[in-house]
Amino acid sequence: MKFFPTLTSIVLGLSTFVFASSAKQYSYFDMKKLSEGLVDGTAPADTVLIDVREPSEYALGFIPGAHNMPLKSQGFALCKSPEEFESLLGFPKPSVDQHVVFYCQTGVRARVAEQQGEHCGYENRGIYLGSWKEWSELEAEVGQCA
């Protein structure tokens, strides 16, 4: 049988090539630990988890402890002033010294957001490429996600 790559695999492959970065890549298990720490207060205080999906997607479910910063409607939000950022998004703007971890639905928008974070001066960035798709599937397997 011949292999015909899907559009998603082509896009992910190209985005990996085009958007190579020094961001820390998180696995599901890393995210599970981070999420639990953000919820119970044991995660490092300098870590912020950012869901870059649109509000309608975020409303259907999100990783506990995450803040919503929609990439499509609020692109380059991390370059805005702290006052404008909080007014638009409803949570304090992370400082450039904080560790900011991005995720989306499948990892594509998270890569773009991570690159935007770099452009806006954030050096300590992370990305969860498995994103909501992986999280929701694995959480459903253990009965913790609707």
Q: What is the mean pLDDT of residues 95-103?
A: 97
Residue 37, judged by CB atoms within 10 A of its CB (0-12, 13-18, 19+), counts as middle
Tell me the residue range of the domain where 56 lies. Answer: 27-141
Q: Is residue 14 part of a domain?
A: no
Q: Which of 79, 104, 120, 145 is catalytic?
A: 104
What's the structural domain count of the chain? Answer: 1
Calpha distance 30→65 (Å, rounded):
14
pTM greater than 0.85 (yes/no) = no
Q: Is residue 42 part of a domain?
A: yes
Task: Compare 20 and 145 and report the one with higher pLDDT.
Answer: 20
| Residues 102-127 pLDDT 10s | 999 999 999 999 999 999 999 999 99
Backbone angles phi, psi at 75, to 5 degrees: -55, 145
Q: What is the mean pLDDT of residues 39-64?
A: 96
**pLDDT value of position 2:** 43
Calpha distance 110→118 (Å, rounded):
12
104 is catalytic: yes
* pLDDT tops 60 at residue 15: no
Strand order in the sheet with 66-68: 24-25, 125-127, 99-103, 47-51, 66-68
Residue 117 is which amino acid? G
Q: Is residue 68 part of a domain?
A: yes
* 3-state per-residue secondary structure call for 9-38: HHHHHHHHHHCCCCCEECCHHHHHHHHHHH
Q: What is the CATH number of the domain that holds 87?
A: 3.40.250.10
How many angstroms separate the most distant Cα atoms in the chain? 56
**pLDDT value of position 143:** 54
